[in-house]
Structure 1
Amino acid sequence: MVTLEDVAKLANVSTMTVSKVLRGTGAISKQTRTRVFEAADQLGYVPNRLAGSLSARKSMLVAVLIPSIADTVYAEIISSLHSLLDQASLSIFIAESLMDPDVEERQVQELLSLRPAFLVRSGGIASTERTKILLQRFGVPHIQIWDGDDPQGQATVGPSHVEAGKIAASHFLELGLRKVAYIGAETHKDICASRRMESFIGDMTAAGAETRVLTEPDLPRQAESGELLTHRLLEDGLQVDGIFYLNDAMAIGGLRVLLKAGFRVPEDVRVMGFNGTSREQTINTRLTTISTNGHELGQTVAKAILENIGGRLPKSCTLCPVTLDLGNTT
């Protein structure tokens, strides 16, 4: 862990000067302040927000950084994670990255300043260099979740999104589909979604199928966006026999448009989503989707944390199974 003394040595000043600069007190020259801040940034130093009487206590806090607490996928994971950690008297503190690298950097620094026992962070974001430095040098054990294709930290727990794309392509090809589309949003932010898309399109193209990608960087990944982009697909006059959507929400939105336009699903168009969040809201139409078990993922993460705290090294990478859940839309 980077210390105050490390910053002082690099900036060629006393630890007292570093302390005053970081607390914004004392009559310190602008040149010295700049030198101290540059040294702190270079080393990845994060001030202790719990300095004083609390700093001597062993932390019982697990910091969790996810894209959004409104995302049903992460709600299931966190609920499962908390159920085991609570039995060990560990508490969790949740923050959102909003899939934004700059927001993630700020949140990582804030979370590390709390001196947690562990940091659980969702992967699939193009993290800034400073975020990488903070994670590498700060000394807080770090588990990455959701991105099983690019292991990071002490351990990684998550599905392979490359495999998810391959499963989607395999299902469409088994159905004999030759003209397909992928519809998504914000794929430039979401590396995991990009991997699924590229894997799906790659396998479909390699099999000789005609493919069309329709994504919009400024639209949210919600049902309304699925409606809008499916409308756009139909307005372009493109005839497809299968559509793979970024997630279940967008697929549900797309289904509304297709059914309203008179298409029969699955007779005319096959529709598939991802993440399985539509299963609990199904009445008549049961969406075919690809998913991983969020409850098991959360339990695996909790067990890895408890193993580490107990002095045992957790498995470096645990790939969570990705499954095809057949509905009546394919």
Structure 2
Amino acid sequence: MVTLEDVAKLANVSTMTVSKVLRGTGAISKQTRTRVFEAADQLGYVPNRLAGSLSARKSMLVAVLIPSIADTVYAEIISSLHSLLDQASLSIFIAESLMDPEVEERQVQELLSLRPAFLVRSGGIASTERTQILLQRFGVPHIQIWDGDDPQGQATVGPSHVEAGKIAASHFLELGLRKVAYIGAETHKDICASRRMESFIGDMTAAGAETHVLTEPDLPRQAESGELLTHRLLEDGLQVDGIFYLNDAMAIGGLRVLLKAGFRVPEDVRVMGFNGTSREQTINTRLTTISTNGHELGQTVAKAILENIGGRLPKSCTLCPVTLDLGNTT
């Protein structure tokens, strides 16, 4: 590994001079700075930012903990977050919890060991007691995203999933639907999805509708799972006039099964998803969905970070809007 001493030797200066040049401090001549930068480039020197932040008590790192980087919603949030933070020379470090409380605990501990300036963490997971203690006592400003119904940390930015469920139920009731189903997966892990489901089922039941719930704890929340559970719905002989899926991916899988089985959508059965991730892939069938704006969420978090670097993050809860995005499946 190339060291500070190696750069100093090649540039024919002291290690203190190299350190000052790379940190942009001190009254160093332009010629000396040029010589140091050229030596560092020639050797491929990479500064130890962690050591520097510890000594200066200042970090340029933002740690981000999400359920999965494969999830389109979180990819949009991170892209938006990074675009603003990068302009301020802040870097992000991403880790996955996989919606597993034990994995989340381990990742929180590892991320905090990096002494980040901020920790951005997705809510909606039944965190362990130790995770809660780490978040409360470690002193790193903690921003919770995605779960607007249960504010945690110094700031929370996210949609209300209770409201999303109510919007779905209201739309189905306005259409006069009386027999509906909810299809999902891993709802025991995903508190936010559970809130949407319970809100939807609760409002439909209160209005006198017949409701059915099909969820599978061990299936991924992908199109294939939507196909499997929709097959199961049909095999069980359940006749419904509307289906609300956990997300757009599962709804697309369900649509494949319904159309192949000869159902007309929306004439025979209405279909609705959640999160709006199918919009960009639409050709003919445009899925009705409950949309969230990941780009806006990411920007809101980034602005909160940039406005509070080096200071205290004020207690706040920003609810991002959830909207009914009408397609041709209802």
TM-score by length of 1: 0.84
Native 8 Å contact 2:182 2:246 kept in 1? yes
User: Alpha carbons of 1:165 and 1:49: their partners in 2 closer, same or farther (altered >3 Å)?
Assistant: same
Separation (CA, whole Å) in 1 of partners of 2:262 and 2:317: 46
Greater Cα radius of gyration, structure 1 or 2: 2
Residues of 2 paired with 1:255 and 1:239: CA distance? 15
* Aligned residues: CA RMSD: 11.6
CA apart distance, 1:56:
3.3
Task: Quote how far apart the aligned CAs of 1:2 are.
Answer: 33
Asked if 1:55 corresponds to 2:55, the answer is yes
Residues 2 and 137, structure 1, Cα contact 8 Å, conserved in 2? no
Structure 1: stretches of 5+ with no match in the other structure? none
Q: CA offset at residue 50 of structure 1?
A: 4.7
Structure 1 SS opposite 2:49: coil
* Worse overlay, 306-315 or 140-149: 306-315
Task: Give the match's secondary structure for 2:50.
Answer: coil
- Moved runs in structure 1, 4+ residues, more than 3 A? 1-57, 310-315
User: For 1:19, what is the secondary structure of its paired residue?
Assistant: helix
1:33 aligns with 2:30: no
For the structure 1 residues 8 and 67, does the alpha-carbon distance in structure 2 shift closer, same or farther, using more than 3 Å as the test? farther
> Could you give the per-residue CA deviations for residues 142-186 of structure 1, whole angstroms, max 9, x where no partner exists?
000000000000100000000000000000000000000000000
Call closer, same or farther: CA 1:203–1:25 in 2, change over 3 Å: same
Q: Distance in 1 between matches of 2:132 and 2:44?
A: 9
* Structure 1 residue 14 displacement after superposition: 37
1:10 is paired with a residue of what secondary structure?
helix
Cα pair distance change 1:253/1:119, threshold 3 Å: same
Unmatched 5+ stretches in structure 2 = none
Q: What is the distance in 1 between the residues matched to 2:53 and 2:270?
A: 61
Q: Report the TM-score, using the length of structure 2 for normalisation.
A: 0.84
Cα displacement string for residues 88-136 of structure 1 (whole angstroms, at most 9, x for unaligned residues): 1100000000000000000000000000000000000000000000000
The separation in 2 between residues aligned to 1:197 and 1:66, in whole angstroms, is 21
Quote the residue 1:218 is aligned against. 218
Report deviation, 1:87.
1.1
Structure 1 distance, partners of 2:29, 2:150, is: 44
* Matched-pair contact (CA < 8 Å) for 2:141–2:313: no
Aligned to 1:17, the other structure's residue is in SS state: helix
CA distance in 1, matches of 2:130, 2:4: 18
Report if aligned partners of 2:72, 2:277 keep a CA contact under 8 Å in 1: yes
Change (3 A) 1:21 1:218: farther
8 Å contact from structure 1 (residues 44, 137) kept in 2: no
> Which 10-residue stretch deviates more, 291-300 or 25-34?
25-34
